[in-house]
Amino acid sequence: MLCIGGPYSSCMLAAVLNLGVFTAAAVFAGWFGLGVLLQLWAMLQDGGCIMMVDAFLQAALYYCYGRVGWMSTELEKIPMMINVSKTIKSATLRILDAFVDSIFQFVDQPVLPSQRNFLPVEEIGHIVQIEGIVGEIPADFPEGVYIRNGANPLWGGLKSAISVFGRSNHVWIEGEGMLHALYFTKDINGNWSFSYNNRFVESQTFKMEKQRNKPSYLPALEGDSPAILATFLLNAFRFGDVNKILSNTNVFEHGGKYYSIAENYLAQEIDISSLSTFDDWDLCGAWCRPFTSHPKKAPGTGELVIMGVDAVKPYYVVGVVSADGKKLIHKADVKLERSTLAHDIGVTQKYNIILDYPLIIDVYRLFRGGPIGVMPRYGDADSIRWFNVESYCTFHILNCFEDGDEVIVRACKSNESIIPGPDWGIDKFKWFSKGFKPLSTSTEEEDDNGSIKDGFLFTCVNEWRLNMETREVKERNLSGTEYSMDFPMINEGYTGLRCKYGYTQVIDSEASSICGKTKYGSLAKLYFEEPDSLASSKGHFGNPIKMEHHKFAKNNFCTGSAFVSKLGASKEDDGWIVAFVHDEDTDISHVIIVDAKNFEGEPIAKIPLPQRVPYGHHGAYFQTTSQR
Ligand SMILES: [Fe+2]
């Protein structure tokens, strides 16, 4: 069983591409089914069977080793492929489709009761006015739209494909991107109204699969090795890509335009009024590679710092986009020696912060990561200063800033990655359940029976202080061992600058271990400049800081939280946290608004939504008037 799934980043495309090398090597030699496929393909090419088989093998290996999306034009350069007419190609595709339809059967994956709100919903079809708000929206709350992105699989849910090759499964992150939007509108008399809409992000592959009106891409991320290889190749040759374009992770604004993103592809422009999808954002052809889900606006200049990781060289490229969003003004290959699945990039006033982390994809497992790099804003590989730190897994940076000779990096850190390696065995539910349990007090990585300790997915807010002069590194856990937290957010006006406060979603370890997927049962506010006076009595180690908690009612869980700054704010925490919260007992979703200055108090408002909003990824609040 080859398993590389997990409820996280779509960077797993890169994982499967590298693991595909292993898979191919492991099963290629004795796998007669592939031989049948090869002969089928060859017979379709109107003669020259042997040469075409050779071309097919070259192409197959090419696909196995590298990314496929932008490689299709390169593939067409293979000499034996050039003379294949469109007619023959079309006929070939039809026969391959028939082959897939006759051999593969799509079946629904089982869903536990505790997993129901991970199931997809349909598009509601129009903007719906909302009544029944509880509480009041303050006058200094900005008009705007709160949008959250997330995975929402087509065809009713995640599928498995069963065939003579075995079984392969979609994993949770493979759902198509769906945007859920709540609009906050105020009339000239100051009266608020609210409306909701949701729409798919219409990627190229979304439109293609809708046109075919049936599941088309075979699951290729998790399952039996022969099945993975078969689905991998069949997807590649039928569609030119191993997997779909899934723009399902985040939304962001730059230069007055708005984008949906997942880091295995380019950002796609969206219309936040209608939630329509526009074109890919390739910066006039200057950026034709993956694009991070977490670009950062540089303090002072307003330029957008981006990066893209890939499974083939160049593995990690940093870019800087002009403040107006029209031009890529800097691009540098970091020249890493192997692919890493970095999900986030940090900025300070002068530097870009590169986490050479969190995962190194290897044949046997996913190792924890490596050094942290500090790169001048317009630097190159030679100008990066690398700092060796304790091994870590980090998906999300909370903030970075400079303090004298030091560069401070604050981020969410766990001992293991939520994206597991092939060694996680056949029981992923058990694997997740063990990982989500509260952190073990032991520092040993394995228990007496040689199995990994409970709580290996426990995530804290960690601080690294990197001295640019002495190269010294100081590291500490800021949030302790009681609360596991991720999806950090700050007042974005402080990105790259010293900030006093941070906010996170807190994992409900018990609910998550029962469900086998992450559920967030509360929010936390972190006071970076105030030590926790009760730390010793709470059993914390190190010097954890003061934290406050906003706990939801039982069986209520949030996603997509974001900070909304108050109009005319004078202090960093003048604002609110907004979050999509689902009540699993009533099956009703709300958007809640929590006062950042009265964090443990009741929400100032709860806005009921006209339909269930499944758990998803990141959200953002975009002001839509000139009140900014
Ligand atoms: Fe993320």
- Which tens digits make up the pLDDT trace of 380-411? 999 999 999 887 788 899 999 999 999 999 99
Distance between CA 7 and CA 198 in Å, rounded?
22
Mean pLDDT of 137-155: 96
Distance (angstroms) between ligand 1 centre and the Cα of 139 equals: 32
Expressed in angstroms and rounded, the spacing between residue 33 Cα and the centre of ligand 1 is: 38
In sequence order, what are the residues at sequence separation of 6 or more whose Cβ sits closer than 8 angstroms to the Cβ of residue 381?
A: 332, 333, 334, 335
Residue of 352, 488, 510, 380 lying closest to 436 (CA atoms): 510
* Mean pLDDT value across the chain: 82
Compute, in angstroms, the gap from residue 8 CA to the centroid of ligand 1: 8
Which one has a higher pLDDT value, 425 or 124? 124
CA distance 291 to 299: 20
Spacing, Cα 449 to ligand 1 middle (Å): 34
Q: Which residue has the tokens 């009266």?
A: 191
Distance 412 CA to ligand 1 centre (A): 11
Say how many Å lie between the CA of residue 487 and the centre of ligand 1: 7
Q: In a 3-state reduction of DSSP, which class is residue 37?
A: helix
Q: Is a pLDDT exceeding 80 seen at residue 545?
A: yes
- Of residues 595 and 481, more confidence is placed in 595
Neighbours of 468 (CB within 10 A): 16
Centroid of ligand 1 to alpha carbon of 10 (angstroms): 9
Contact criterion met (CB below 8 Å) for 315 and 338: yes
Ramachandran bin of 276, using left for φ above 0, alpha for ψ from -120 to 50, beta for the remaining angles? beta
Q: Who has greater pLDDT, 85 or 228?
A: 228
Give residue-wise pLDDT tens across range 249-292.
999 999 999 999 998 899 999 999 999 999 999 999 999 999 99
Average pLDDT over residues 496-517: 92
Written as six digits, the tokens of 595 are 């006062």
**Binning pLDDT at 50, 70 and 90, where does residue 536 land?**
low
Alpha helices in 66-112 (DSSP H): 72-75, 79-82, 86-103
Q: Which pLDDT score is estimated for 39?
A: 46
Band of the pLDDT at 537, cuts 50, 70, 90?
A: low
Instruction: Determine the length of the chain.
Output: 628
